[in-house]
Every structure is written in structure tokens, then in C-alpha cells.
Structure 1
Amino acid sequence: MPDAHQGYGLPIGGVLAMQADMIIPYAVGVDIACRMCLSIFDLPAVLVDREKEKLKNLLLDHTHFGIGSKTKVHYDTSLFDRPEWHAFKTVKSLKDKAYAQLGTSGTGNHFVEWGELTVSENALEGIPAGNYLALLSHSGSRGFGGSIANTYSAIAMKKTLLPKEAKHLAWLDMNTDEGEEYWMAMNLAGDYASANHHEIHNKIARALNIQPVSRIENHHNFAWKEKLADGTDVLVHRKGATHAGEGVLGVIPGSMSTPGFVVRGKGNAASIHSASHGAGRLMSRSAAFKTISKADVDRNLLEKRLTLIGAGLDEAPMVYKDIHAVMAAQADLVEVLARFQPRIVRMADAREKAED
């Protein structure tokens, strides 16, 4: 993908189709089912300026960031009634942690933000063209997903012996107990990540006293059972890449001060029905601390009329690639339906270690 950069095993931004009975935990990633979630409200976008303090306080009151962050008040915990939580030891041991972290966000590039959504004519069903207040979030399956990834990656590396340089591409056979367990746990982590976002959005919507007219979400760091163009059954791993099958809706973010885009997949077989998951980093976190000044960031945020809560220099807008160039590079993969401009952004405290 155009936002790809190096990671363990499969690059972040990498897409890999394996034979249907082989799954690679590290090609899925550590933050399983990390996702974007966008709630669109039937309210004018100008409220982001008129009600700035109110909207800022809603983020402060109803979001929780950081490694190990927890919540005490929940909106909907019905996910935890599912039998999968008791299917095998690894998941069962993590249920309490997952419950405590429901409705929280991680560190690094994870965020919850208010912004202005500009919708084109006839682009989104049921939503007239115009400018709307919208809430966008980015986070995943928290400590639950991370623990599943680490546990089953270690098992895969013991089961599948590869050269040192390729060890993170070790796979699990889906026909074994370990493979079946990982598949079940990965899918549960996907549902958990979605519920995590809904918890945040629903709490904020309730406090705002209005329900969204539409909610759009899509995830990355996952594996999907699909078919190639020739009908071959495969397991498609998208690590830091998102599904862009024909008609599939999603959100591709830029940076804290550059726009994100609501898109519809075109189902391009050459990309294995995939698109980028964001702008992608232009430099490492260590390079950002060495080369970017707080004054530079402050000027950028002032120019974009952006209010920022949290975040360090390693998440500055200039550490990311040009989102417009990234979108242009994948015009054959997705169709742009709407544009989201961030205006009030909350991220983890600058002192928090990045998890992403």
C-alpha cells in the first residue's frame, strides 16, 4: 500500500494472501482489528467552533487513553455474554482485562476527535450534501488483542521453524487446536474492538443528547477468508491495510491536522481488494523527536484552527506522508465520498510510550 513502512514480518501497509488453512499472527499484527469509526451527526459543522469548549469537555469526560487505561462506567457490555469468552484458557484468562478496558483507547497514533465532515451530493445514502459535525476514532483491541497476538505468535514460531530473518512470518495450521483457537480469538478481538469504539461514541452521543444519523467503520490488522479473481480460496492478511472490496465503505485518516476521507472500495483484484489504512509515517518516532520543534507544531495547529489534547512530537502532522499524494496513488482502489477535517483532537499524554 502507498502508506507502507517496515515492521516485523509483513510490513505495516502490507497485504498477503496465504493458502486458506494457514494464518500468520504477525501478519495480522499486535493490535488485532485496530479500526476507524466515524459517527455523523445531523448538526452543522460550525458547532465545532461555536461549542468548542463543550465538545472538548465531552472528549475529556468520555475518553480514556494510555497503556493499561480502564473505565468504571460502561454503556453496553452484552459482548461479554458470548460463549467464546469461555471457549479456551487463553481467552478466558483475558476476559476481566478486556472488560475493564472496554471504552478506552491506546497510545501512539490512536485518537478520538471532532471534525467537520463535507459530504458530496449523492455520496452517502440518506445523507444530503453538506457540512456536518462528526466524531472520528482510531484504536483497537487494547491489551486483549495484544496478549492474543503475543501468545499465538510465540506458538507459531515454535511450530513453524523459519530462518531468523523470516521468523515473524511463522504460521499456524488452521486445522490444529492452536490455529482454531487463534482464529476464534482474532475474530472475537475484532468484535471487541468494534464494541470498544461504539462504547466511546455512544457515551458521547448520549451526553450530546443526539444519536448519529450514520456510523461508518473499517478495520485493519486482521485476516479475512476470501477468493482470488481465479476463484482460489485464500486467507488475506491486511496488516496496516484495509479491506476495499467493491462497495465496502471505510475511512482513511491523514494526520491530526490534515483531512481524512470516507471511501468506497472499488474491488481492485490487483491490490487483493485492499487500500491504505492512513497516510503512513514519513519518519520514525526517534527521528521526529530529533528534527521537529514544538514551535513548528504550534504554528501548524494554529493555521489549521486545531485544538489538541495530549500527543507528543512523534505524532506531529509533519511526521506523516502527504495524505493527498497517498489518496492519488490509490485512486484505482477507492472512491472518495466525503472529507473529514479534524478540529478538536484528543490523544494519549505525550509521556506515554507508543503502542501502535
Structure 2
Amino acid sequence: GLKAGYDDVVARHPKAGHPRGLGHLGTLGTGNHFIELCLDEAGDVWVMLHSGSRGVGNRFGTYFIERAKYEMRRWYINLPDEDLAYFAEGSEGFIDYVRAVSWAQKYALANREVMMDQVLAVLKRTFPDLVTTQHAVNCHHNYVSREKHFGKDVYLTRKGAVSAKDGELGIIPGSMGARSFIVRGRGNPDSFCTCSHGAGRAMSRNEAKRRFTMADHIAATAGVECRKDEGVIDETPMAYKDIDAVMAAQSDLVDIVHTLRQVVCVKG
């Protein structure tokens, strides 16, 4: 099903195609993407991973942004900033973009499912008695969703954020050396039933590389089996906001179900 959907998008928009197409399925990616083994407050093991649609979704987005800018010029619509370009709802560009982004979200979901199956298979080879006792929590964090808010049907974009509908489970990661949280949404209407996806960066990657040393990174990730080299300085815990402050700021959006601490962190 994934291949047919991808082929349909690219058939209509050949320049939206990615060189690897579906070849990234089951791969982690770079930057802030990770696979972690964590322990909760009871000592139970959790496998947590963060990845998305890989380069395909990014390619789709970049392509349709340029198409939207073209449409603005074509119809002589002058905007205060060209990055505010849009497709009118119901237009061909709008329909094709929604179709493409919906496919990218399905691909991201499948990508995480494939990786989770692979990680569990590796663990079971070492720990043959391992059993899973919780349902997987699989949530998007950069996506578009058709929802109803304040009495209106809308397309809601969550950027660096996850859905936190009443009773809905979500994941809020910290950083390589900070705690992470499994949460349950409180359905706060003022946030469009949304909470943060994670701690969020406190500074740019370049600033982190300038400011912190390997000694800083090693100290900040003490007790965590992870990369401790120059290549991940931009992902060091100090480059992110204080996750406890972030959680305190959204106590009206979610309830904490489990608090997790990493013991292994694999960065892409």
C-alpha cells in the first residue's frame, strides 16, 4: 500500500520524488533521532525511538512550499512574506498536498513500527524470556490532522507537538541525559488538545558546538551508554531546555503516567 501511494504522488508531481523513495523504511535518520532503552519507576524496561518519514516527507514539503509560492505569483497575490504562501482549500494544489502529507505520515508510522519490531527482535535474542506487557504508543510530532475545534472543522498543524486529547497516551522525550515521560492527555481545548513533543532546543546546533566540550558532554551523560564523541556535541543535554521546567509548564495539558530514565541511547 505504501508503494502505490508514493507512486501516485510522484506520478502527478515528478519533482517531488526522493532519490531513495521507499528505501529509507526501517532506518533511523540523523540529528535528534534516537533509539533508547529506558527504565521506569518500577524498573520495567521501555524501548523508545524517535524518527519520522525520513527524507521523503521533507522532500514533499519543500516541493509543495515552492509550488504554493508559485501559485501566489501566478495569481498576483502579494504577501508580507513569501513563506506565508498557501493553497486555497479545494484547489488542485491543496488536494495534492494533503494527499502527499497524509502519505508521508503513514510512511513515518510504518517506519517506526518496523524499527520497533527490529529492536525487540534483537533484545529477544539476548533475553529470550522478554515479553511485552504494554501497548505501543506511536504518535506523530510534525503533522497535519483534520479535527474539530471551537465548533469548526479545521486542518490543524502540530509542529514539534503531539496530540493530547482526553485520555490519549503520548511521549515527551527529554534529551540524551535527561528524563523522558509517558503522558496521558487532558484534552485542554485552549491548546487544541496538544502538548509539546519534547524539551525543545535551547540553542542552535552551531552554538552548542561552540559552547560545550567533550568533558561537558561526558559529564552530562554519565550513567548512559551512548555516543561520547564530537559528532554528537550538538545533541548534548545542555543544548536542550530543562525538561522538568517544560513539564511543569504544561501540567494543565497532560498527566504524567511514567517517568523514564535512559540507560542506552543510540543516535542516528
TM range (shorter): 0.7 to 0.9
Shift of 1:90: 5.2
Render the CA deviation track for 1:157-205: whole Å, top value 9, x for unaligned: 12234545x3222211231222111111111111111111111111121
Aligned counterpart for 2:34 among listed residues 103, 108, 111: 111
Q: 1:250, 1:278 → 2: CA distance?
A: 11
Quote the sequence identity (%): 33
2:224 to 306, 311, 330: 306
With 246-255 and 96-105 compared, the bigger mean Cα shift is at 96-105
Out of 73, 80, 96, which is 2:2 matched to?
Answer: 80
Alignment partner of 1:143 is 2:37:
no
Q: Secondary structure at the match of 1:217?
A: coil
Question: CA–CA distance in 2 between the matches of 1:144 and 1:157?
Answer: 20
Q: CA RMSD in A?
A: 2.0
Q: 1:178: which partner in 2?
A: 93
Matched, 1:188 2:108: no
- Mapped partners of 1:105, 1:142: distance in 2: 8
Bigger RCO (CA 8 Å, 6+ sep): 1
1:232 and 2:152 equivalent?
yes
C-alpha distance in structure 2 between counterparts of 1:296 and 1:85, whole Å? 44
CA–CA separation in structure 2 for the residues paired with 1:179 and 1:251 = 30
In the alignment, is the contact (CA less than 8 A) between 2:25 and 2:111 conserved in 1? yes
- The one-letter amino acid paired with 2:157 is H
Task: Give the partner amino acid of 1:307.
Answer: E
Mapped to 1, the partners of 2:191 and 2:36 lie a distance apart of 30
> 2:148, 2:154 within 8 Å by CA — same for their partners in 1?
yes
Q: Distance in 2 between matches of 1:90 and 1:220?
A: 27
Deviation per CA, 1:19-75: give whole Å up to 9, x if none. xxxxxxxxxxxxxxxxxxxxxxxxxxxxxxxxxxxxxxxxxxxxxxxxxxxxxxxxx
**Consecutive unaligned residues in structure 2, runs of 5 or more:** 125-129
Deviant stretches of 4+, over 4 Å? 90-93
Aligned-partner residue type, residue 243 of structure 1: S
Q: 1:102 is aligned with what amino acid?
A: L
Partner of 1:101: 24
Q: Is 1:205–1:212's contact at 8 Å kept on the other side of the alignment?
A: no
Alignment of 1:152-163 (within 5 A): 152-160=64-72, 161-163=77-79
Ranges in structure 1 where 5+ consecutive residues have no aligned partner? 1-78, 119-129, 349-356
Deviations 1:276-324 (A, max 9, x none): 111011111111111111101111222xx11113652111101111100
Q: For 1:68-91, what per-residue CA distance to the aligned partner results, in whole angstroms no more than 9, with x for missing partners?
A: xxxxxxxxxxx435x423324257
Letter in 2 for 1:308: C
2:139 aligns to what?
218
The residue number in structure 2 matching 1:10 is none
Structure 2 partner of 1:12: none
SS of residue paired to 2:138: strand
Q: 2:197 aligns with which of 266, 277, 302?
A: 277
Instruction: Say if 2:130 is the partner of 1:207.
Output: no
User: CA separation in 1, counterparts of 2:172 and 2:217?
Assistant: 22
| Superposition TM-score, scaled by structure 1 size | 0.67
**Structure with greater helix share of residues:** 2
Q: Secondary structure at the match of 1:87?
A: helix
* Number of equivalences: 254
Q: How many Å separate the matches in 2 of 1:315 and 1:90?
A: 38
Counterpart of 1:131 in 2: which secondary structure?
coil
In the alignment, is residue 255 of structure 1 matched against residue 255 of structure 2? no
CA separation of 1:277 and 1:91: change in aligned 2, threshold 3 A: farther
Q: Contact 2:79 / 2:85 at 8 angstroms: preserved in 1? A: no
- The CA distance in 1 between the partners of 2:244 and 2:98, in whole Å, is 36
Could you say if the C-alpha distance between residues 97 and 211 of structure 1 is closer, same or farther in structure 2, counting changes exceeding 3 Å?
farther
State the distance in 2 between where 1:184 and 1:340 align. 36
SS in 2 for 1:219: coil
